[in-house]
Structure 1
Amino acid sequence: MQITLSVSNQGSKLPQTHNILCILLLLGDIVGLVLSLSLTFWINWDKNLNTVDPFVNLLFCLLVITGLYLADTYHPDSQISGLRAPARILITNVVVGCILFVILHIIENGEKLALWKWQILLPSLSILTIWTICLRIWAVKWARSQAQNSRWLIVGANKETIEFGKTFLQHNSLGRLVILATPDQNTHELANNHRICVTNLYDLPQWTQQAWSGVVVATPTELSDIQVQQLMQLRLAGVPIYGIPDICENLWYKLPSSLLQDNWLVFSAGYHLTSSSISQKIKRVTDIILASLLFLGLFPLMLLTALAIKLDSPGSFFYSQVRTGLKGQTFRVYKFRSMYQDAEKRGVQWAHEDDPRITRVGRWLRLLRIDELPQIFNVLSGEMSLIGPRPERPEFDIKLRQEIPYYDLRYIVKPGITGWAQVMYPYGASVEDAYEKLAYDLYYIKNYSPFLDLAIAFKTIRVVLLGKGR
């Protein structure tokens, strides 16, 4: 009996601490909005402001929630430009307040709206700011306590176990691992870390009596019937059991290709975009509609961008490159030129974050991703999608295909203007970075859904607004 196949899908149905925290914070923000508005309306009841158009209150709530999301406050322990969540909340709510003041000033048609700005908006926003900051402080303490108590049991030790252990330690600064290995398995790369305990696989019975956050089965050989029964007791007690690809998918929303195997790819669920013609047609229709709207809405910006490029440096404002697309077919992708005209006189090179070949205007175009806008034409022509893995240059594909397992899987769907890898991984220009981005691309291909596309769209907006464009 091969245990890795029998448990490979168990973890995909289990909620993760990160998701629970995000949902709790969102619900807390909604409760805070209701309480702050109710309190300020109650205080100002004699001014009859409760008859103000409900649209104004709804607009206030939507802008606040959108602002908190775009400021990445649902990751309360992260920093952006040195700012933690409380500082980002303060700045965001000031911006939201200014936007609402401008909107209400434009639509103001009576004394009630004028009073609403000062008697409702300002007090509500102030109360809500205090509420949301306190929520984030609590959330950070809770998340750290959960991480500190995180204990994972790994059954078996091989090169995948070592890679998983390194990744786990990198992502989870407080978690603990217990690795059960046979005497012939080499674990010296992990054994010296104080947060990892390496012991004998035959000690499994005593370890199954303890409490665990989860169990990862990574043994390259079949477990005995007794060992399988011991793991089954843990499973029945509510402890999730994963294979290594599943735990990466559930914890970090990526699928490192070096941890994958053919049999796992065959038996794992997902791949709806490649297996369903209906999903493909819906995605194509959505691409055409949204790309058309984007072109109409952003056409003035595109004209100004073309003018700025021409004034900044000699050469065409458009730039085209051959890229690899669906099923390995090449096509020509169009971008606004962000580099000097002779940028590749020394041959094809990866673009670096502080690349000296980038022009002054080009640096801003890349930061705000405006240089990608001409790819709307590639979407309309059917060569690309709005969302999908970024297309790579054929010259780089040759090397990456040789060094990265399952690299060509990224081309079983159409490439996109933005994608899961672009919103989840920072700027990179190396084989190692390509490996990490492929891990996110494989996650997207396996877990595609319209809701994931929607999440990527919102994350792309946040990446651009926070100046994290690539």
Structure 2
Amino acid sequence: MIRLFKHYISYNVVLLCLVDLLLLAMSGELAWRLRVGQIGTSVGVLSDRLLALSGFALVIWLGMIAVGTYGPEALRSVRFAIARILVAVSLGVLAISFLNFVLPGTAFWRSVLLYAMVIAVFSLICNRILASRTLGIDAFRRRILVLGAGARAERLRQLGTRPGSGFSTVAFIDMGDGERVVEEAVSRETIQDLGQFVERIGAGEVVLALQERRNSLPLKDLLKVKTKGVHVNDFSSFMERETGRVDLDTLNPSWLIFSDGFSAGRRLSSIGKRAFDIIASLLILVVGLPLIAIFAIAVKLESSGPAFFRQTRVGLYGQNFDLLKLRSMQTDAEANGMKWAAKADPRITRVGRIIRKVRIDELPQVWSVLKGEMSFVGPRPEVPHFVSDLERELPFYAERHVVKPGITGWAQINYHYGASIEDARHKLEYDLYYAKNYTPFLDLLILLQTARVILWPEGAR
């Protein structure tokens, strides 16, 4: 994997992104040449249309990221990828057309855009079909050797066999540290030189998956492997890289302390994040006020009670603040106490079901973003009652409060709606990953991917 701004991206995704971006630029240029050739106009100098050309390629490419064209399912299924490409190109062309309406002369003519759209769709689909047939999903999978044969090693084996996994386990070595779960593991005593063994099986990485590491680290073995130029990784760091979340089952304070993350260097990034929050929230409030007003009236017409729902939530460093949302439940929804929202929850009104699916009920939260109590990106804020319960049940839950809560977040785009302690545990793993690895790049990725969650709201409740 390649690490960009503290976030891991697989080689095949990076390569596919670069080729797609090049194809989009070529599609725009070909469309221009075809159109001006039809009307008998000079092609002109490339530098004169460079802004329109790069704008076309970049907007469509960002749209492809936003709708999940580079997600695991799109990488496994050509049919799924084609559907997302069609949506991304269509939305991108609409966005470019709107931009050209607001700022005339910044984009291609509409006729050129139509040509570019057809050529881009054809070239992108051909690229996906060609990549799936020539490279395949396993082209960039790394070969790893696992030191250990217990429950952790078994987890790695299962993770490596998942569709779209970025690695495959080529061997397991039983280090005699506990009960053997992986039966095919080779005993350490049968291997004379571990460094030569790693070279012979062609492993590019060794993962330490011992059940008990205290006073049992095989330092001589690890040194031999390291001097062979093979990367050595511990279990927690490997899981974080491969899954995009912090593994709570193996997490300990020392790993959080000594691993890369929570750096003070992001102070400048926080200033930029706050500036973005202010500008974006002001724009959204101005543009979105009519939409909020329309649905507020719809909420009032359907059921008695206030159109807005105000609730105390836990924010940065555990400080409470009042969150404002469009009311999507009946006014007596919490008469018998607070509880998780369930699938097909009878407390949700008909209008509430609509605004939850398209996330319109979240729009008033932009006011909290403007005030600085929230950000656009961050862990979702919970009510104090749930926070108290979750802090007792889940280790390191309080650490998610070291960053501002957000309207959308890493957990929201990677995990379905949480309605239980177990769901909260999975979402906490993603929240800790975000808190540990926050960068503006990750924020941008989350904001783009939020479009996918809105367009395909499988987890909305």
Query: Do the two structures share a fold, i.e. TM-score over 0.5?
Result: yes
Residue 173 of structure 2 is aligned with which of 177, 180, 193? 180
Residue 294 of structure 2 is aligned with which of 266, 288, 304? 304
Q: Which residue of 1 aligns with 2:278?
A: 288
The structural deviation recorded for 1:226 is 3.1
* Between 313-322 and 31-40, the greater mean CA deviation after superposition: 31-40
1:370-422 Cα deviation digits (max 9, x unpaired): 11122222223332222111112222223322332212111122211111111
Structure 1 residues 82, 276: closer, same or farther in 2, change over 3 A? closer
1:147-178 Cα deviation digits (max 9, x unpaired): 6x643211134554444444444465683353
* Between 81-90 and 407-416, the greater mean CA deviation after superposition: 81-90
Q: Which residue of 2 aligns with 1:246?
A: 237
The structural deviation recorded for 1:16 is 9.8
Which residue identity is paired with 2:398? D
1:320 paired to 2:310: yes
- Contact kept? 2:137, 2:164, Cα under 8 Å: no
Which residue identity is paired with 1:153? L
d(CA) in 1 for partners of 2:8 and 2:103?
A: 43
Which residue identity is paired with 1:323? R
Residue 419 of structure 1 is aligned with which of 384, 409, 432? 409
The structural deviation recorded for 1:438 is 0.9
Task: Trace 1:216-365 onto structure 2 (pairs within 5 A).
Answer: 216-219=207-210, 220-221=212-213, 222-234=216-228, 236=229, 239-272=230-263, 277-365=267-355
d(CA) in 2 for partners of 1:161 and 1:384?
A: 40
Q: Which residue of 2 aligns with 1:201?
A: 188
1:332-389 Cα deviation digits (max 9, x unpaired): 2221111111212232111124322211111121111111122222223332222111
Give the aligned length.
Answer: 444
SS state at 2:13 partner: helix
Q: Which residue of 1 aligns with 2:65?
A: 69
Structure 1 residues 327, 25: closer, same or farther in 2, change over 3 A? same
d(CA) in 2 for partners of 1:11 and 1:81?
A: 23
* Between 395-404 and 100-109, the greater mean CA deviation after superposition: 100-109
Give unpaired runs (5+ residues) of structure 2. none
1:238-278 Cα deviation digits (max 9, x unpaired): x32211121122222211222212221111122136x7654
- Contact kept? 1:16, 1:251, Cα under 8 Å: no
- Contact kept? 1:154, 1:217, Cα under 8 Å: yes
1:275-321 Cα deviation digits (max 9, x unpaired): 76544444334323322222122111111121111122222111122
Give unpaired runs (5+ residues) of structure 1. 1-9, 192-196
* Between 36-45 and 458-467, the greater mean CA deviation after superposition: 36-45
1:89 paired to 2:85: yes
Q: Which residue of 2 aligns with 1:34?
A: 25
SS state at 2:379 partner: coil
Structure 1 residues 229, 399: closer, same or farther in 2, change over 3 A? same
| Relative contact order higher in (CA < 8 Å, ≥ 6 apart) | 1
* Between 455-464 and 61-70, the greater mean CA deviation after superposition: 61-70
- Contact kept? 1:12, 1:250, Cα under 8 Å: no
d(CA) in 2 for partners of 1:226 and 1:447?
A: 32
Residue 125 of structure 1 is aligned with which of 111, 117, 130? 117
Structure 1 residues 106, 14: closer, same or farther in 2, change over 3 A? closer
Which residue identity is paired with 1:271? F
TM-score by length of 1: 0.82
1:373 paired to 2:373: no
- Contact kept? 1:369, 1:469, Cα under 8 Å: no
Which residue identity is paired with 2:222? V
d(CA) in 2 for partners of 1:16 and 1:402?
A: 30
The structural deviation recorded for 1:27 is 2.2
d(CA) in 2 for partners of 1:184 and 1:240?
A: 22
The structural deviation recorded for 1:429 is 1.2
* Between 417-426 and 83-92, the greater mean CA deviation after superposition: 83-92
d(CA) in 1 for partners of 2:303 and 2:227?
A: 69
d(CA) in 2 for partners of 1:328 and 1:431?
A: 19
Which residue identity is paired with 2:221? Q
TM-score by length of 2: 0.84
d(CA) in 2 for partners of 1:307 and 1:392?
A: 27
d(CA) in 1 for partners of 2:79 and 2:384?
A: 39
Q: Report the identity percentage.
A: 35
d(CA) in 2 for partners of 1:98 and 1:457?
A: 19
